[in-house]
Structures are given as C-alpha cells and as structure tokens.
Structure 1
Amino acid sequence: MSASIVSQLLWLESDTPDKPITMYINSPGGSVTSGMAIYDTMTYIKSPVSTVCVGGAASMAAILLAGGEAGKRFSLPHSSIMIHQPLGGTRGQASDIMIYANQIQKTREQSNRIMQYHLNKAKGHEKYSLEEINDLMERDKYLSPEEALELGVIDEILTKRPESEQEKKEKEEKQGGADTPQTS
C-alpha cells in the first residue's frame, strides 16, 4: 500500500510540481517503516501536500496527518485522531530481543522528533519539548478534532468543502449574468 501511495505522490508531482496534492486519511495506522516512506515522500516532493482526516487517523496515520503542509492540515468534524508510541513485539534469543528493543526505541525517538517539529511549527514557536512529546505519546491518546486543533496536529476543522478558484469564478459569472439587465 505505501509503495502505491509513494508512487502516486511522485507521479502527481512530476505531472504538475506546483499544484497542491490533497491526501485524504482514514486509517488505523500500520507499519512505521511504510509510514515513514510516505512521510519522507510528502516532505521530499515540491508539491505542497495537504492532509484531511476523514473518519480516523491513528498511530502512523496521525503522524502523516500532522506532517501535511503547514496551514493545510484538516479534519472533518466527527473524525478521531489517536497518537501513541510505536508498538512492536518480538521473540527469540536475548541478544535479538535487545537489538529489537534498541531499534524500537530509535523509532520512538524519530517519531517524537517528527511530531515535535510539526506541533511546534503549528504554534509558531517552541511550545513542546521532546520530553513533553514523549509524555504525550506514552500511551494511546485519542483526540477529537477540537483537541487536535488545540494541540497543533491539525490547522482547521472543515465543515464544508471550500470553493475552488474555478467554482468561485463560475459563480461570479452566473451572478453577474443574472443581474445584467436584458435589452431587446
């Protein structure tokens, strides 16, 4: 799935690099590695990527939601957003378990730095320390759109799709045409 999303982002950027891309998210999350591939592609391409939570964005999907273009991270009013530390499990020899534990700790630190960057960017200043982000993401934390807005995960709650420039132009032309007196 992530390979498909990455290739679509790259194709959309190559087609029209300056045109914004909107990513609609309704996901319980998933593999951190796959999610990081999507996140890195979102930040790598020239096209600005706006994100919209439609239903739910949990775990890695919440990081992708927060990783959208500043000012262009949205949620619909009845969505749910959940953040937490990375999950994982392993078994095997003690040495292999230690290797895995070290790797998941690195992944946790990486995820926390990403969230810290985007939450602080949304606030316009260093509001959250890495320690505060670590505490915030220690356990599953479910957020309403209002709570996500306050925290800085999203920038706006959408209730109605905004009109495109083309729609605005057509509406103005219709109104202008209807108000023009007709002569015979």
Structure 2
Amino acid sequence: MYGYLLRNRVIFIGSRINDETATQIVACLLALETLSDSEDIKLYINSPGGQAYSVISILDTIEAIKPDVVTIALGQCASTATLLLAAGAKGKRFSMPNARIMMHQPAGGAMGSADEVNIQASELNRTMKVVHRFYERFTGLPLDRIEEETDRDNFMNPKQAMELGLIDDVIVSADLPTLATAHA
C-alpha cells in the first residue's frame, strides 16, 4: 500500500513522530524530489505530534526541497503535527471537515540534579522559541498572538484553524480523490 502511495507522491503520517518516523518521512520527501522537482507532494497527517526536533527535521526538509508540499489534516492533528500542517505551500494547506487540530507549548519531563533540570528547562524554552518562529512564519501571526494561542492545549476545528492561518481551506470527502490525484 505504501509503495502505491509513494508512486502517487503521497506520504501518510499516522502515528506519533519520533526520530525513526521523521527519518522515513525525510527520506520519502528527498526521494520524491529526485523523481520530480516540479510535481506536488501530498502529506496526509493524522498524528498526535511527537518529538519537536524530529518534526523540525521534516520542516527543514519541506523548506529545502523544490516541490510544493500539500498538507491535509484528517482525524487528529495535534502538537508538533500542527506545525507540519501549517508548513504546506500557501494555498495548499487543507483539513478534512471533522479533523481536530491542537497547538500548544512544547513539553518536557525533566529529571536529574537541579543543574540538569535547569539545563533541560533552558533547552525547552529555546525549543519553544524555535516552534514559535515557525508558527509566525507559517501563519503570519505576531509572536504575542502565537504565545497566547499556545499557552495551553488549544483544540480547534478546521474553521478556527483557517482563521489562525494554519490552513487555507476545508475540503469534503468528495473532493479528496481529486486532490489526491490533481498533481500526480
């Protein structure tokens, strides 16, 4: 099945994103660019998110490759997966009508000595700034608004996500096959 999807320039994320899944996604993006740098790549996202720097490796790749990446949220698109959704090419960021989208601050589980916990807290704050810069760039919202929107678990429907600039349009199931093959 995944071979068929890749031949049609479709990547599906259906799990938590860690280093292993990020490496696979990056490899797929790079391979698809090699096959054609002018055809869109479609990235379907149904994920609770995952490790921030694993997702950042995918974001950096999306920004580095030539093909436009079309992003489509379905089911759950939460936490760092929302960054991937917003990273799609402008005008090509979509959500299914019943998807649930959530953004929030990065979280960590610091353990160890007081010094180690302080180091981890500093790194978490740095990671939060990186995440906020990505949201600023992808949505056009000012930093203070990004901070306000991510200061808690912020669940939203696709219409609210569109108002925040995370997506460009909501699609219905009947449009999905057209979208999936429109750029193949």
TM-score by length of 1: 0.83
How high is the sequence identity, in percent, across the aligned residues? 38
Matched residues in 2 for 1:59 and 1:145: separation?
A: 15
Matched residues in 1 for 2:166 and 2:109: separation?
A: 27
Rg larger in structure: 1
Confirm or deny that 1:17 pairs with 2:42. no
Matched residues in 2 for 1:132 and 1:92: separation?
A: 34
Matched residues in 2 for 1:163 and 1:113: separation?
A: 33
* Matching residue within 94, 107, 110 for 2:114: 94
Q: How does 1:135-146 map to 2 (within 5 A)?
A: 135-146=148-159
Moved more, 88-97 or 76-85: 88-97
Q: How does 1:1-184 map to 2 (within 5 A)?
A: 1-120=21-140, 128-159=141-172, 160-161=175-176, 163=178
Gaps of 5+ in 1: 121-127, 168-184
TM-score by length of 2: 0.83
- Where 1:90 maps in the other structure, the secondary structure is coil
For these two proteins, the number of residue pairs brought into alignment is 159
- Where 1:35 maps in the other structure, the secondary structure is helix
Q: Report the CA distance between 1:116 and its aligned residue.
A: 1.1
